[in-house]
Amino acid sequence: MKVKLPDLESALKDSWSRETSSDPANWSEENPAWGQCAVTALIVNDYLGGEIVWALARLPNGKEASHYFNKIDNEDFLACPVDLTRTQFPQGTYIPQGIQKTKNFPTTRDYILSYKQTVERYNLLKCKVNSSLERAL
């Protein structure tokens, strides 16, 4: 199914939940993107291709947080970063250019999917996003 980024973004935002967050204890409706970066990057990759990259985000208080997002290179994006979960971080957070994070895996996607809990969250989010997109058509 061919999907445009705004439609996918809307479906993702409607589908994020405590159950799809990597940090359900700190997830809230006020910050629905919290803990959603890995599974969201996987779904963006499913629909729009490109590559999933990783960066160590530096928060304004000096703390660092692992963060995944996408780099898409096609006629619509021209090697642009697509980071639909950036809003989980406070204003002033610095997110450097992403890199591959593979640790003995061929791609960052394979690395992310090597964690059982992440696979479960991804499958749940993907089901919700598919339903949302089907309703929108």
* Listed residue (120, 132, 127) closest to 21, CA to CA: 120
Mean pLDDT of the chain: 94
Alpha carbons 85 and 37: distance in angstroms, whole number: 6
pLDDT on residue 78: 58
List Cβ neighbours of 121 (8 Å cut-off, separation of 6 or more): 19, 20, 21, 22, 38, 39
| Whole-number pLDDT of residue 75 | 63
Tokens read off for 113: 């999917």
Mean pLDDT of 36-63: 96
Q: Can you tell me the mean pLDDT for 20-48?
A: 97
Q: Report the candidate in 94, 68, 86 with the shortest Cα–Cα distance to residue 31.
A: 86
* Residue 2: predicted pLDDT: 82
Instruction: Check pLDDT > 80 for residue 5.
Output: yes
Query: Any idea where the domains of the chain sit in the sequence?
Result: 5-136
At residue 20's C-alpha, the angle toward residues 113 and 35, to 5°, is: 85
What's the pLDDT tens digit per position in 65-122? 999 999 987 666 656 899 999 999 999 999 999 999 988 999 999 999 999 999 999 9
Residues contacting residue 47 through CB under 8 Å, at least 6 positions apart:
1, 3, 8
Residues 105, 111: contact at Cβ < 8 Å? yes
pTM over 0.75: yes
> What is the rounded distance in angstroms from the CA atom of residue 30 to the CA atom of residue 99?
29
